[in-house]
Chains A and B, each alone.
Chain A
Amino acid sequence: MNPEGYLVLSAILFAIGIAGFLLRRNAIIAFMSIELMLNATNLAFVGFANYHGNLDGLIAAFFVMVVAAAEVVVGLAIIVAVYRARRSASVDDANLMKF
Chain B
Amino acid sequence: MTSVLETMIPAPTLEWMELSPLIVLLVAASLGILLEAFVPRASRYVVQSGLAAIAIVAALGLTIANWIDLTPKVAAMGMLALDGPAYVFWAMLLIFGLGGVALFAERALGLGQSAFAASAASVPGSPIEREAEREGREHTEVFPLLLFALFGMMIFAATNNLLVLFVAVEIFSLPLYLLTGMARRRRLLSQEAALKYFLLGSLASAIMLYGVAMLYGYSGGLELARIDAAILASAGSHWLLLGGMLLTSVGLLFKIGAVPFHAWSPDAYMGAPTPVTGFMAVATKTAAVAALLRVFYVALGGLAWDWQLLFAVVAVMTMLLGSTVALAQNDMKRLLAYSSIAHAGFLLVGVVGAVQAGDNVNLSSVAAVAFYLLTYGIATLGAFAIVMMVRRSGGEANSLDAWKGLGKRNPLIAALMTLFLLSFAGIPLTAGFVGKLTVFASAWAGGYGWLVLVAVVMSVIAAFFYLKVVVAMWFSDADDETVGTVETPSLWTWSVLVVSAAATLVLGLIPGGVLSLIADAAQFIR
Contacts and interface: CB of A to CB of B under 8 A. Distances in A.
B217 A97 contact: no
B213 A96 contact: no
A7 interface: yes
A63 B216 contact: no
Interface string A25-36: 001001100100
A57 B203 contact: no
B108 interface: no
A85 B195 contact: no
B188 A60 contact: no
B210 A91 contact: no
B476 interface: no
B178 A77 contact: yes
A1 interface: no
B163 A74 contact: no
B193 interface: yes
A40 B214 CA distance: 12
Interface residues on A, range: 35 or more
B206 A97 contact: no
Interface string B103-130: 0000000000000000011011000000
Interface in B171-198: 174, 177-178, 181, 187-189, 191-196, 198
Nearest to B196: A94
Contact of A37 (B177, B206, B222): B206
A75 B221 contact: no
A54 to B, nearest CB: 6
Contact of B199 (A7, A27, A57): A27
Contacts of A60: 163, 212-213, 216, 222
B101 to A, nearest CB: 22
B206 A86 contact: no
Given A37-B207, A77-B178, A45 B192 contact: no
B199 A97 contact: no
A34 B202 contact: yes
Contacts of A9: none
Contacts of A47: 217
Interface of B is mostly: helix
Contact of B210 (A14, A78, A86): A14
Interface residues on B, range: 35 or more
Given A78-B198, A91-B199, A85 B216 contact: no
Contacts of B178: 74, 77-78
B203 A74 contact: no
A17 B123 CA distance: 31
B217 A99 contact: no
A47 B240 CA distance: 14
Interface in B207-264: 207, 209-210, 212-214, 216-217, 220-222
From A10, A44, A67, name the one whose CB has the most chain B CB atoms within 10 angstroms.
Answer: A67
A84 B128 CA distance: 13
A16 interface: no
A71 B170 contact: yes
Contacts of B222: 56, 60
Contacts of B47: none
Nearest to B325: A99
B210 A44 contact: yes
A27 to B, nearest CB: 6
Given A27-B195, A27-B199, A30-B199, A70 B206 contact: no
Contacts of A59: 163
A17 B206 contact: yes
A35 to B, nearest CB: 9
Contacts of B209: 37-38, 41, 64
Contacts of A81: 120-121, 181, 191, 194
Interface string A13-24: 010011001000
B138 interface: no
Given A14-B210, A34-B203, A41-B206, A75 B167 contact: no
B216 A56 contact: yes
A41 B213 contact: yes
Interface stretch (B83-91, B266-274, B353-361, B508-516): B266-274
28 contacts: A17-B206, A31-B199, A34-B199, A34-B202, A37-B203, A37-B209, A37-B210, A45-B216, A48-B213, A48-B216, A48-B220, A56-B216, A59-B163, A60-B212, A60-B213, A64-B209, A67-B167, A67-B170, A71-B202, A74-B177, A74-B178, A75-B198, A78-B181, A81-B121, A85-B188, A91-B199, A97-B196, A97-B271
Interface of A: 7, 10, 14, 17-18, 21, 27, 30-31, 34, 37-38, 40-41, 44-45, 47-48, 51-52, 54, 56-57, 59-60, 63-64, 67, 70-71, 74-75, 77-79, 81-82, 84-86, 91, 94-97, 99
Given A44-B210, A44-B213, A97-B192, 4 more contacts: A31-B199, A60-B213, A70-B170, A94-B196
Nearest first, the 5 closest Cβ-Cβ pairs linking A and B are A48-B217, A52-B220, A37-B206, A44-B213, A94-B192
